[in-house]
Every structure is written in C-alpha cells, then in structure tokens.
Structure 1
Amino acid sequence: MKVQLFIPCFVDQLYPQTAFNMVKVLEKACCDVEYNTNQTCCGQPAYNAGFWEDAKKVATKFLKDFEGTDYIVAPSASCVGFVRNYYNTLFENSSLHNNVKDVSKRIFEFTEFLTNILRIENFGATLNAKATYHDSCAGLRECKIKEGPRKLLDKVRGLELIEMADNETCCGFGGSFAVKFEAISIAMADQKVNNALNTGAEYIISTDLSCLMHLDGYITKKELPIKTMHIADVLASGWE
C-alpha cells in the first residue's frame, strides 16, 4: 500500500524523530512510504488567526502537493481534522472544491490509518512502564478517534495503561489560545498533568505532539516526575 507522509511544521522542526518512528511502523506494516519534500503547512495557524486568504494560499499548495490517489498519513489529528473539516469552508464555490473532497477522503491520522485502514493493532512493541492516555480535542472531536489508540497501546508488551480522570478535557494548548489566554492555558495544563500524576503513570501518551509539547513545557517547568510520549514513538519501541 502506497502512503504519502504529511509531516506538520512543528513536528518537522521540533520532533523529527517521531516522524521517523512513524515511517518505521508503517514500513513494518509493508507500506510503501513516500515523502514529498515540497510540502509545507496545511494552513491551520493562519486560518485560526483569522487570515483566511493567507490560509487559502497555503491550503492550495497543500492540495497540489498531495495530488494523486495515495493515502495521506500524518502524526497529528489537529492537522488532519483541519483539512477534513475546514477546507470545505475555505474552498466553498471554488474550482478546487472537488480536490478538497478527494483529499478529505484520503487523509488519515496515524493511529486511525493503522486501525481502520490497515486493520493492524499489534506491532510487536515493548515498553515496560505505566502510562495514561490523553484524548486530544482534535483527535476526539474532529477525527472521532477514541478506541483506536487504546487498542494499539493494549498490544504493547509491558505497558500498563491507566485511564486518568477527565481524560477528554482539553490540555489547554489550543494553538494561539495558549498565548492569548496564558493563565487559563497553564491552569488547564496543571489540571491535566495532575490528573495524570494521580494515576501513578510514568508517561502521558497522545496522538498529538502539540498537546504533548504544551504539557511537557509545564512538566519541565515544575520538575514533575512524568514524561510525555507520542504514540508513534511507543509503537516503535523495543524492536529494530
């Protein structure tokens, strides 16, 4: 199966190892993985800031970069959710409307591609640790991802998954929300991290590095005994 990778801006710049681990897992599933080096952003930051025309220009490039029939897989439910749910608004009554419909059918968040398209849950990973799972807002509400990541984590040898209280509550990041409403954002991170700590977990795992980046910043600042880990890094653990 041929797969085109879409690697979001911040993953490319800050967490490239997660992208490499995603490739590692997809190749283990016998996927033919390709990466178009011309790709940039999906346009979400500009759209959320109110710069719709700028977002449309970036999104038009995205549509061009991912033309074809291949599946598009990304380690971010936030970006996938934006393409699926907001490109229709950007390109309403546009000549690119059919391109949007086509891309929306082909783009998947990493874990939903594994469980819904490949229908593989066990990748032979091992992680001897206790962990809790954070449902990102985009994953849960925009991509309807809930059970898939948990099924994948359930097959990781040595991993004990413990549900935290209010696991569907936002972590407080929300992109520019964390900048515009800093105090609220930090309070939400405090609540989320403390709920995770109360489970006795060593790791907070999620599908979205944007959430994990925000939580990790809070954890580092407070010097708390817990770490964050993207699910692609978990699934690539314990095997070569």
Structure 2
Amino acid sequence: MAAIDLNSDLGEGFGPWPMGDDAAMLATVTSANIACGFHAGDPSGILTVLREAARRGVAVGAHIGYRDLVGFGRRNMDPSSAELVGDTIYQIGALQGLAKAAGTRVRYVKPHGALYNTIAHDACQAADVIEGIKAIDPNLVLMALAGAPIVAQAREAGLTVVCEAFADRAYNVDGSLVSRRLAGSVIHDPQAVAERVLRMVNEQRVVAIDGTEVALDAQSICIHGDTPAAVAIASTLRQTLEAGGVELKSFVDMLS
C-alpha cells in the first residue's frame, strides 16, 4: 500500500485575527507546520494549536520565515548570514519551548513563503538555514521542495530531508511553484486537487501550468490552511486518497 504524509501551515492567526480553521485541519492532516511568530502567529495562539496537535497525535514542525509580519513572510528579503542563522535558531527554539509546554516536540523544520522559495535555489541563504538547524538540533528533519537544489545541499550537510509537493499550487515546467501574483497559481476546486494529488502519489508526476508533465518524487503533500476552500480541499483529498488505497501517515513515523 502506498503511503503519504499530509501537512498544512497552521498557527498563523494573530491576536483577534484568525487565519484558517486550525482545528478542522488538524483533524485531517498528519503533520502540522506551525508558525513561529516571525511571519505570523502569537504565543497563546501557537500554544493552543500545539496542544490540539498533541491531542490528535499530529507531528509538529517549525514553520520558520523571514521577519515580516506585515507581508506575511511572502516578500523577498536579503538578511545577512548572521541574521538568518540567528533567526532560524530563535524561531525553532521558541517553538520548542511552547511545544514542550503543550506535551509534544518539534520534529522537523519547514521554511515559509518567500524564505522557502528563496532557499530552494539560493545556496547562500540555504546554507544559513541549514547551519541554524544543525546548531540547535541536527536531528531535525528539513522539509523542502521536491526536485530543488536545496535537497541535495542539505543532505550533503548531514540533514535528513523530506521532499514536499503542493496539492493546491500550480507548477512551472522546471518544478518550481507558479508565483502567487499570476492567475491560476492556486487551485481552489477540491475534486481537481484530490485527483491531482492521487496521481502525484501513484505516478510521481504532476501537470505543469503549460500542460507539460513533470516528474515529482515527494513524501509529503502540503495543503494550505489559509485559503477559503482549505477545509473542503483537505477533507476531499483525504477521502480520495483513502478510497484509492493510499495510507495517510506522518513522514516522521515512516522515517522511524
């Protein structure tokens, strides 16, 4: 039986402003990428999500990002190496403390937004993030874009890497994600997303935005939790995968 991990970006509300339905997503996913306060999230809200993840047995990862609350971490930035290493350590450490209080622990790191897309191909910023992860806990797994140069770079540096594909994002022919500024970059139809992911899992392929088929070897599938159809997409996707004979299981369990 094929097995796949489903992950989602959670804990991104801030004070009285909610972002997505974290509780509903935690009922569906097997891994949760939890904001660490730099691009989104506040301590009390993050702690609430961590407690619910612990209750449901969902694996927890640090969703680190640029220091960019106003831009939700989606603006390109150029921090110095010292800043990016320090920011990486700081965010993971903060989440580790909250996770301990919630009765769980941080198992992996998944960068967010612009940082995620930058380090996929920028070896310098990638090295800084890798250095930060290794400094605080070299046993943490890095979740990275399937097929991107950072996968080999991180593995050569000694990190375990889990490759990720995106359920609801369009792909370019080179395997990169279509910019959110372009039409069609986000797919909103739950059934279309589910059928697309089932093919990703069974055939390791995805159709790019220009119609080209692209090879895609991923161990985890991301469902964005901040889109209007997030819960419907997650529910339909889980049902479709299970009906197709795919086991849903955290990659953390698959690695152990």
Normalised-by-shorter TM-score class: 0.3 to 0.5
Structure showing greater radius of gyration is 1
Q: What TM-score do you get using the length of structure 1 for normalisation?
A: 0.35
More helix by share: 1
